[in-house]
Amino acid sequence: MPSPYRAIFAAPGSKGFSVAGFIGRMPLSMMGIGIVTMVSQITGRYGLAGALSATVALSAAAIGPQISRLVDRHGQRRVLRPATLVTLVAVAGLLLAARFELPDWTLFVFAAVAGAVPSLGSMVRARWAALYRDTPQLHTAYSFESVVDEICFIFGPIISIGLSTVWFPESGPLLAAVFLAVGVFWLTAQRATEPVPHPREHHTGGSALRSPGLQVLVAAFVATGTIFGAVDVVTVAFAEEEGRKSAASLVLAAYALGSCLAGVGFGLMHFKGSPARRWLVGLCAMAVSMIPLQLVGSLPFLAAALFLAGLSIAPTMITTMALVEQHVPRAKLTEGMTWVSTGLAVGIALGSSVAGWVIDAAGPSAGYGVPGVAGALAAAVGFLGYRRLKRPDPRRGGTHEQGSEQGHGRGSDQREESSGVA
């Protein structure tokens, strides 16, 4: 591992919470595609499969920011464990309903409740922010976590699709639930690196989403998520049409591999000036990379096109987190990061659902038009909101009391302050 990445793990406990976050984030790439594979295996209906995946994503979009707001107030341990238990029960119900071919509405009920899944990526990034806020190491830490995200997306679909097609249809989502349980309970057992919760009296001014800059980021990530959701569903359908459905996991892994390699390189760079311009360039590159997918004719060509498309993902994600830090008060950082994930989840829901219906109506090749349109919309939002992102939120540092509370975010004083809360 290059030395800048090695250096961030000098902080005590950083290795432990990063590994736990990696395990807990595996469901991010496994659950949606696992549901699509499971339902399409059992029923052959891609429209239903995409709609169920979209329901989980929309539910997470609605519930996730509320969970993160509670985490900012009460701490990760107190909030994440019960939320995870609710998710696990709902996933179990979804798998049983699919196995016994219960009415469609029961599948949607369980899928809606399964959205109580916590945003583990936001929780881990909040821990890094508490350790390295306002230092160059934070850029490296965010870059590392984006690489971890992409590693999840390299191996998650391979595992989920592979298990569901080779073993039994429900095995992919089932293993995703196991990863979630292990990751959350291991992460929340690590009390020493848990960020200081902020009591209710510090949460004035309403939701973090009132920040104009955050609104732009979330809107752009709705379009970005639509790209991801559509690419997943269409790729599975395209591989099935080619007679090699299990190969979809390898093709999607190429997409994530491109992003992973770009993230590693991006984390080694040091930039000056506002990240807003880099973010806009990333969105435009992502939009342009969707054009070759309209010409796809074989799985090898598709894998190559997706690899190139992936090169713009991680740098854009890393820059987005840097912008969130500039546009949200510190006391609402976890909530702000989760709103970005929420925008992504809404987009994934839209992309999965729309792509599923397009596939049913016109075939897999036509489905790649969905991410093409979404990429153009993401770039348009970036251009329209660019001015807002150039002006950081003056409340970023929070109140004086909040700033002093966070300013000592890595010592024993922090643990003494929060030990009675989390």
264-267: long-range contacts at Cβ-Cβ below 8 A with a sequence spacing of 24 or more? 264/2, 264/143, 264/147, 266/143, 266/146, 266/314, 266/315, 266/318, 267/4, 267/5, 267/139, 267/140, 267/142, 267/143, 267/144, 267/146, 267/147, 267/318
Q: Which two tokens stand for residue 291?
A: 């054009």
Q: Residue 198 falls within a domain, yes or no?
A: no
Q: CB neighbours of 262 closer than 8 A, spacing ≥ 6?
A: 310, 311, 312, 313, 314, 315
What is the pLDDT, as a whole number, of residue 245?
A: 76
Is residue 5 assigned to a domain? Answer: no
**pLDDT for 415:** 29
- The pTM (predicted TM-score) of the whole model is 0.70
Chain segment 133-175, per-residue pLDDT in tens: 778 788 788 888 878 887 887 778 778 888 888 888 888 889 9
pLDDT of amino acid 370: 92
**Structural domain range at position 56:** 17-192+207-397
Q: Which residue has the tokens 């990751």?
A: 183
Question: Model confidence over 98-134: pLDDT tens digits?
Answer: 888 888 899 999 998 887 777 788 888 888 888 887 7
Q: CA 314, CA 311: separation in Å to the nearest integer?
A: 7
Q: Is 298 exposed, middle or buried (0-12, 13-18, 19+ CB in 10 A)?
A: exposed
Residue reference for tokens 């435009």 = 284
Does residue 404 lie within any of the structural domains? no
The percent helix, strand, coil of the chain (3-state, each to 5) is 80, 0, 20
In a domain, 387, yes or no: yes
Say if 415 falls within a structural domain: no
User: What one-letter code names the amino acid at 5?
Assistant: Y
Name the region of 273 (left: φ>0; alpha: ψ -120 to 50; beta: rest): left
**What distance in Å separates the CA atoms of residue 89 and residue 57, rounded to the nearest whole number?**
17
Contact 217, 276 (CB under 8 A): no
The total number of residues shown for the chain amounts to: 422
- Domain count across the chain: 1
The letter for the amino acid at 103 is: P
Q: State the CATH number of the domain containing residue 317.
A: 1.20.1250.20
Is 232 part of a structural domain of the chain? yes
User: How many other CB atoms sit within 10 Å of the CB of residue 148?
Assistant: 19
The low-confidence residues of the chain, meaning pLDDT below 70, are 1-2, 198-207, 209, 273, 330, 390-422
Q: How far is CA 351 from the centre of its chain?
A: 15
Predicted local confidence at residue 305, as pLDDT: 92
252: nearest Cα among 221, 283, 229: 229
416 occurs within a structural domain: no
Q: Is residue 9 part of a domain?
A: no
Q: What residue spans of 268-312 are helical by DSSP H?
A: 276-288, 299-310
Q: Which of 68, 42, 369, 305 is nearest to 208 (CA)?
A: 68
Report the candidate in 345, 271, 284, 351 with the shortest Cα–Cα distance to residue 57: 345
Tell me what pLDDT residue 392 has: 59
